[in-house]
Structure 1
Amino acid sequence: MSVHVFVDESRRNDTYLLAAAIVIPSDLRRLRTLLRGLLLPGQRELHFKKETPQRRRAVLSQLSQAGARVAVYRRSCSEGPEAARQACLARLTADVLELNASRLALDSREDRDVLDVRTIRAGLGKFPRAALLAYEHLNAVSEPLIWIADAVAWSYGAGGDWARRVEGIVVRIVRLDESP
């Protein structure tokens, strides 16, 4: 079965986090409807950094009940945040091919999207089935499923009770600084 993957980032001190929400096609519509329904009047997107603790708890509860699944990739920023992002993205690219993903959607960073494209293309070039993967950068306002990755990346990075609240959502943690 193919999946769609929606990606956002977070940074906590010297740790870079890339979160990838994994959604099966039959859940796309249901989850988008759920997420849009969580918006407050006048709100265009959920951005966890800007939400109140009460709203964060409510959103995470809804995501957990809805069966959201997210993989988290983490790496030290000791070589800079961009190097950490590209290392996480290179690993994610290989992993989404193993998941038989048909779509990879990343939250746009505008002029820096070209760096992601370079990393993704380099990763896809190693795999024959890569031609089946469509990838794009989107504004998070236009794709609510990116909000899942944002919520989990923020919560996981915050640690403590927030990280505990996403334990049932996080299906995999890939620590790129550690030896296998």
Structure 2
Amino acid sequence: MSLHAFVDESRRNNTYLLAAAIVDPGELTKLRKLLMGLRMPNQRELHFKKETPARRKQILSALTPAAVHVDIYLACCRRGEERARQNCVARLTDEVLKAGVTRLVFDSREVRDDHDLLTIRTALGKSAWGTGLFYEHLPSENDPLLWIADIVAWCYGAGGDWLRRVQPLMGDVIDMRAP
């Protein structure tokens, strides 16, 4: 089956979080419409860090029944945030190939996007063209499905009641931090 993955990041202290929202193509339009409808007037995108607690609860209540799951990749930032990210991106690339993802979309970090592209190409190796994996970076306002990864990463990092509330959307947690 062909799946799509939408990826965003977060950081909590020395832990880097990379969240990948995995979506079936049949759900893309419905989820985009739902997310667009959750914006406030004149709001270009949902960014969970900027929302009030009441809005966060409202957004989560609307989103948790959705047919989507979000995998979280955790890495230690002590040796640098970019290094932690690239370790997560390499593992994510392997995992999405196994899951049947054919489109991988990252929230753009502009000039730093090239780091991801190099890591993905390296992870794919010589078989890059044969995998059928299409990957790209987009600004978060260009695809509302990137907001799902942002929401789940924020809630996971916040912990407590926010982690409890986001559980229906949670997939696997891949912890790559050294013990």
CA contact (8 A) 2:65 2:168 kept: no
Partner of 2:27: 27
For residue 20 of structure 1, give the secondary structure of its aligned residue in structure 2: strand
For residue 65 of structure 1, give the secondary structure of its aligned residue in structure 2: coil
Partner of 1:7: 7
Q: Distance in 1 between the 2:44 and 2:104 partners?
A: 22
More helix per residue: 1 or 2? 2
Deviation at 1:76, TM superposition (A): 1.0
Which residue identity does 1:48 align to in structure 2? F
Deviation at 1:127, TM superposition (A): 4.8
CA contact (8 A) 1:6 1:106 kept: yes
Deviation at 1:175, TM superposition (A): 0.1
CA contact (8 A) 2:20 2:70 kept: yes
Which residue identity does 1:146 align to in structure 2? L
Partner of 1:18: 18
1:73-92 alignment runs, 5 A limit: 73-92=73-92
1:99-178 alignment runs, 5 A limit: 99-125=99-125, 127=127, 130-178=130-178
Q: Distance in 2 between the 1:38 and 1:95 partners?
A: 30
Q: Distance in 1 between the 2:29 and 2:124 partners?
A: 28
Over the matched positions of the two proteins, sequence identity in percent amounts to 56
CA contact (8 A) 1:97 1:129 kept: no
Partner of 2:40: 40
Deviations 1:127-150 (A, max 9, x none): 567530000000000100000000
CA contact (8 A) 1:97 1:130 kept: no
Q: Distance in 1 between the 2:162 and 2:127 partners?
A: 37
Deviation at 1:84, TM superposition (A): 0.5
For residue 46 of structure 2, give the secondary structure of its aligned residue in structure 1: coil
Deviation at 1:68, TM superposition (A): 2.5
Relative to 1, partners in 2 of residues 1:55 and 1:130: Cα closer, same or farther, differing over 3 Å?
farther
Relative to 1, partners in 2 of residues 1:128 and 1:13: Cα closer, same or farther, differing over 3 Å?
closer
For residue 58 of structure 1, give the secondary structure of its aligned residue in structure 2: helix
Instruction: Flag structure 2 segments of 5+ consecutive residues without an equivalent.
Output: none
The total of aligned residue pairs comes to 179
Relative to 1, partners in 2 of residues 1:152 and 1:113: Cα closer, same or farther, differing over 3 Å?
same
Cα root mean square deviation, aligned: 1.3
Deviation at 1:29, TM superposition (A): 0.3
Deviation at 1:124, TM superposition (A): 1.1
CA contact (8 A) 2:27 2:67 kept: no
Q: Distance in 2 between the 1:32 and 1:178 partners?
A: 37
4+ long deviations beyond 6 Å: none
Which residue identity does 2:139 align to in structure 1? N
Q: Distance in 2 between the 1:130 and 1:165 partners?
A: 39
Partner of 1:98: 98
Q: Distance in 1 between the 2:101 and 2:129 partners?
A: 10
Instruction: Flag structure 1 segments of 5+ consecutive residues without an equivalent.
Output: none
